[in-house]
Amino acid sequence: QTKYRKDYKPTNYLIKHVYLNFLLNEDTTRVISRLSMVPNYGTAGSPPSLELDGRKDIKLVTVKVAGKELQSSEYELTDKKLTLSRLPAGEFEVEIEVDIKPQENSSLEGLYKSGGNFCTQCEAEGFRGITYFLDRPDVMAKYTTRIEADAKSYPVLLSNGNLLEQGSLDGGRHFAVWEDPFVKPCYLFALVAGDLSVREDSFKTMSGRTVTLRIYTRAKDIDRVAWAMESLKRAMKWDEDTFGLEYDLDLFNIVAVDDFNMGAMENKSLNIFNSRLVIASPTTSTDMDYSRVEGVVGHEYFHNWTGNRVTCRDWFQLTLKEGLTVFRDQEFSADLNSRPVKRIDDVMRLRTAQFVEDAGSMAHPIRPDSYIKMDNFYTLTVYEKGAEIVRLYQTLLGKDGFRKGMDLYFQRHDGQAVTCEDFRNAMADANGQDLSAFEAWYKQAGTPHVKVAASYNAAARTYTIKASQHTPATPGQTEKGPVPIPLAVGLLGHDGSELPLTLQGDAAAEPSTTKVLLLTETEQEFVFTEVAEKPVPSLLRDFSAPVKLEVEGQAEDELVFLLAHDKDAFCRWEAGQRILRGLLTSLYTAASASKDTKLEECLSAAGGVPDKVVAAIGAVLSDKDLDGAFAAAAISLPAAAELIGTIPNIDPVLLHNVRQYVVHELAARLRPELEAAVKRNEAPAGASYVPGDSAQAAQRAIKNKALSYLSALKDAKVTADLLQRTRSATNMTDQISALACLVDSEGPERETALAEFYEQWKDDALVMLKWIALQAGSNLEGNLKNVEKLLSHPAFSITNPNACYSMFLGFLRSPVNFHAADGSGYKFMADSILKVDKINRQVAARMVSSSAFTAWKDYDVERQQMMKEQLARINAENGLSENVFEIVSKSLEA
Ligand code: ARG
Ligand code: ZN
């Protein structure tokens, strides 16, 4: 059942027009489709058969070809296919009637019900759960959709495009007819029918058209959509200003639903969103929630051009639209907020999650070569690493060159389903450059390791950078070649000033303070001339490529210097992270070498946290001129995920304890500085929360970061203060971070705070998701018992994807309990995966792929053994979904 990229073949038939008629009911929903088929098999021979995709939960009622009903002997029907043969030559019409039961569709793929309303999710292959169809992105058609339903229960009837007609019918029913003038693949089809409230606004496009904007939610949520609406308008304006891209219809709808597998979906003119990415208010949403809403509303809107107007030829090309659209939403957020902080956040995410994926058993290139279930490839690699590869073009071609490439891409491919190569060719041709070497980034899985060794020649006044690259083997791909890597470099003088740079052999170029070196070979040398003093190098500025960088012989003093002086915010932050990663690694190594002595004694004997490190962190904390969000990131310890894989056979609980030791040391020795930072960044009394105000958010970020350090002291005064903060907070950012500080500590404050929070927010499902996640991820010893109890709490529902993500992905975040030495955490996770798989395979698959099960090789041998046992147990389950099977079997093979 594996599909291969190399097997791509166009279909024998295309579809010119799709007419759909939905008769929505409580028991059986009837779907009637009329497809105008067009031959696509050339002129030779008799018409080939037509293979339509389907799913076993759709029931075929009738099928007609050219107006004539077929007998069951005249077609072939299996669980997954409806095959029609002996077809007429030339164009003809196929009419199909099926019955489906959306109310029983717990997979949330295709047409399903959420909160009493009908909605759809068709990407990647959900449309085949609605009717038999050529369910692939290179089959593009115009759609007309008629929806009929009970008028009282489903007053709102929506689909893609323009409303053509609506009216009432006998028996309390009504109907609407929608027509989408743009061709699209079926994965962009959407339908919504329900009892929804609406907020309306409008946007005037650059050519002067007025677009009506509507956001629909259930009545209880409609007062919290202002931020999503604002974000939508900003996104529309940004795409005009940045890429000259204008919206192309008179109506744009967003619908929020509570049950949704992913974040959101870019269906043409009818985006459907997970409600957690639409609904926002200061008292119920954190600063991070606000920025996610902004980013995802932008992301789905930007898909209208990068995804919808120009789509993917086949699903292997997914990064064509997703990598590009993530890049676009990253730039959008960077332009509207702090660019450096946004970049650091994105890099953090890439390194803590995508690098792990790229090193695990599911490692795949951004353009995969094969899959069993496409849904398993909506990954950090395709999305986030894909966005980094798009960014490489911009780094090399400049913003203007990148824009030229985009213009040519739309000029050539508007209305088409294309490949990653088409995109690269547009970039290359628009700039008169040969970019064929970039193919390696699309073909090769794994994170390249770059090694840099630099030396200064005082007599010759030259500074030489030797760089080499190597990509480690990944499953099924042992041979790796070099990839083109732009390495942005700056050189700092002893006073922290930026030296003007001239590259040997590049005399024509203007001297500048950042140069982009392009590594194309396995080993290369670059020489800077006229370097007046021995500089401190600032390497991989702005994280100019998705690689792991090792700098030979880099002294800690140089890192301290960069943390204090580098003008490049990413490198400045990274200098601090390197110091802390080095510290955690050496302390962990000392601790694991002498497992029986008391941890604290052992760590302090190993040097503890050196004064130099404490001073460097203290300096960041006390620097009043620093952006608080940057400072918060700069004093954060690198995530465990950044170390796992770099230390062979790691004991994750020991690593956690080492981290806690460092946190405690820093808190104890910087207490006055931490308390001063809290005080300095406290919001003035009576100040109100202003959505999107980065300055306010930055103050909360550093204040709450400082509080979380202080909470490690387990000091009665601090704990009492935190409890007070959970009560008096005027916004969710402050409230939830105070609660988070208490959740890992024993003592009555924990229970009190959790109980009070529950009482305050029990009627708000979105806030309850946070309450669940915090408890599930707690590192209190033996917390599994609490998690098991929480499963039967009314705030949790196993059929709701968000609730599962909070509960189970939350639990995965606890090294102490997920990685418990007795294997109880692994067993619980495996049991939960099996239970969820019977309900929703996409959610179950995400539970496996987010777990350390796919990277079991990184852990100590006892844990390896226990993880493999659970993988084998899952693998042996009867009726396991293909989704979970693919990930589990690949993990066992790795
Ligand atoms: N295209 C959507 C987005 O990124 C995501 C769809 C996810 N679908 C899936 N089956 N995993 O905006
Ligand atoms: Zn997307």
DSSP output for 616-637: HHHHHHH-TTS-HHHHHHHTSP
Query: 265 CA distance to ligand 1 centroid (A)?
Result: 6
- Produce one character per residue of 767-797: b if its CB has 16 or more CB atoms within 10 Å, e if not: bbbbbbbbbbbbbbeebbeebeebbeeebbe
Ligand 1 binding pocket includes 123 (Cβ within 6 Å): yes
- Alpha-carbon gap, residue 314 to 39, rounded angstroms: 19
Which residue, judged by its Cα, is nearest atom 9 of ligand 1? 375
pLDDT of residue 159: 99
What is the strand order of the sheet 75-77 is part of?
A: 50-53, 81-84, 75-77
CA atoms within 13 A on the CB side of 255: 29
Quick check: 236 and 129 in contact, CB under 8 A? no
Q: Which amino acid is at 644?
A: I
DSSP 784-845: HHHHHHHTTSTT--TT-HHHHIIIIIHHHT-HHHHT-TTSHHHHHHHHHHHHHHTT-HHHHH
Pick the atom of ligand 1 nearest to 374's CA: 10
Which residue, judged by its Cα, is nearest atom 1 of ligand 1? 265
pLDDT of residue 139: 98
Read off the pTM: 0.99
Angle (CA) 616-620-625 rounded to 5° is: 145
Quick check: 216 and 253 in contact, CB under 8 A? yes
Phi, psi for 29 (deg, rounded to 5): -100, 130
Which residue, judged by its Cα, is nearest atom 3 of ligand 1? 265
Q: Which amino acid is at 585?
A: T
- Crossing angle of helices 287-302/226-243, nearest 10°? 50
pLDDT of residue 43: 80
Pick the atom of ligand 1 nearest to 262's CA: 7
Ligand 1 binding pocket includes 124 (Cβ within 6 Å): yes
Nearest alpha carbon to residue 502 among 524, 531, 525, 467: 531
Angle (CA) 143-308-117 rounded to 5° is: 60
Which residue, judged by its Cα, is nearest atom 5 of ligand 1? 265
pLDDT of residue 638: 98
Q: Which sequence positions are flagged as catalytic?
A: 300
Q: Map residue 434 onto helix, strand or coil.
A: coil
Q: Is the dihedral of CA 758, 761, 764, 769 positive or negative?
A: negative
DSSP label at residue 511? P
Nearest alpha carbon to residue 300 among 276, 331, 264, 336: 264
Query: 73 CA distance to ligand 2 centroid (A)?
Result: 42
pLDDT of residue 359: 97
List CB contacts of 387: < 8 A, sequence separation 6 or more: 323, 324, 326, 327, 330, 346
Q: Map residue 431 onto helix, strand or coil.
A: helix
Name the percent of the chain lying above pLDDT 70: 100
Q: Map residue 684 onto helix, strand or coil.
A: coil
Residues of the chain with pLDDT under 50: none
List CB contacts of 236: < 8 A, sequence separation 6 or more: 203, 205, 211, 247, 301
- Facing residues of 174 across strands? 149, 168
Query: 339 CA distance to ligand 1 centroid (A)?
Result: 26
Query: 188 CA distance to ligand 1 centroid (A)?
Result: 10
- Crossing angle of helices 287-302/694-711, nearest 10°? 130
CA dihedral 393, 397, 399, 405 (to 10 degrees): -70
Nearest alpha carbon to residue 768 among 745, 741, 800, 727: 800
Nearest alpha carbon to residue 730 among 258, 277, 284, 215: 284
- Facing residues of 455 across strands? 464
Q: Who surrounds ion ligand 2 at CB < 5 A?
A: 322, 325
Ligand 1 binding pocket includes 375 (Cβ within 6 Å): yes
pLDDT of residue 596: 72
List CB contacts of 58: < 8 A, sequence separation 6 or more: 98, 99, 100, 128, 129, 130, 131, 132
- Alpha-carbon gap, residue 122 to 111, rounded angstroms: 8
Q: Which amino acid is at 31?
A: V
Complex ipTM, two decimals? 0.98
pLDDT of residue 871: 98
Q: Is-cis flag, bond preceding 124, omega within 30? A: yes
CA distances from 312 to 301, 329, 508, 869 (A): 17, 19, 41, 39
Ligand 1 binding pocket includes 266 (Cβ within 6 Å): yes
Which residue, judged by its Cα, is nearest atom 11 of ligand 1? 375
pLDDT of residue 894: 87
Q: Probe ligand 1: pick from 262, 308, 319, max atoms within 8 Å of CB?
A: 262
pLDDT of residue 483: 98
Pick the atom of ligand 1 nearest to 378's CA: 11
Pick the atom of ligand 1 nearest to 296's CA: 12
- Facing residues of 451 across strands? 468, 550
